[in-house]
Amino acid sequence: MAKNNTITIKQIGSPIRRPESQRKILVGLGLNKMHKVVTRQDTPEVRGAIAKIPHLVTIVQD
């Protein structure tokens, strides 16, 4: 994978007291614990998932 085709996401918020749909988005991104960092392909689908939960995740700059 090329570096410019990936995005690094860090979970900064807890899914406790959040709607089930937001919890499922976190699981779909591969996040389940606070401060966990994952790298995903930078696709419109991933960007859309991040846009739905900006209060729970942040994009980490390399």
Query: What pLDDT is stored for residue 3 in this prediction?
Result: 57
In single-letter form, the type of residue at position 35 comes to H
Pairing of strands 37-41, 6-11: antiparallel
* pLDDT tier for residue 62 given thresholds of 50, 70 and 90: low
Which tens digits make up the pLDDT trace of 3-60? Answer: 579 999 999 999 999 999 999 999 999 999 999 999 999 999 999 999 999 999 999 9
Query: For residue 2, is pLDDT > 70?
Result: no
Contact of 58 with 13, CB cutoff 8 Å: no
CATH number, domain at 48?
Answer: 3.30.1390.20
Q: Residue 36: name the closest of 61, 8, 2, 62 by CA.
A: 8
Other beta carbons within 10 angstroms of residue 26's beta carbon come to 22
Total domains present in the chain: 1
Q: Which residues span the domain enclosing 42?
A: 3-59
